[in-house]
Amino acid sequence: MSSTPLPPEALDEWLTALADRLQLDPADVPVGDLLDAARDIAHNVARPAAPLSTFLIGLAAAKNGGTGADIEAACAAASELARDWAPEKL
């Protein structure tokens, strides 16, 4: 098992392999939308919130039909919430 992270150019190869392992069509994965949402969440909420939030985005998209439009809508909702995030101070 390698502990060296993949270079950015290897991302497509990784995503194709993972989609295949999960029995998904790689063409159904809106990489840009997911990365944009993860960026907004990591920068405006917290870094650990990004992977957890992308998991929730996937669950919401699947629950709502699982189409590309469902994924895009879930990404947009997550990004909007993250950009407006201002939790109350304890």
Taking alpha carbons only, the member of 34, 47, 48, 46 closest to residue 78 is 34
pLDDT digits (tens, 9 = 90+) for 47-84: 999 999 999 999 999 999 999 999 999 999 999 999 99
| 3-class SS of residue 84 | coil
- Which run of H or of E encompasses 78? helix 68-83
Q: Which domain holds residue 62?
A: 37-84
Q: Higher confidence at residue 62 or residue 12?
A: 62
Average pLDDT over residues 3-13: 76
Dist. CA 30–CA 63, nearest whole Å = 17
28-52 residue pLDDT tens: 889 899 999 999 999 999 999 999 9
- Give the global pTM: 0.83
Residue 63 placed within a domain? yes
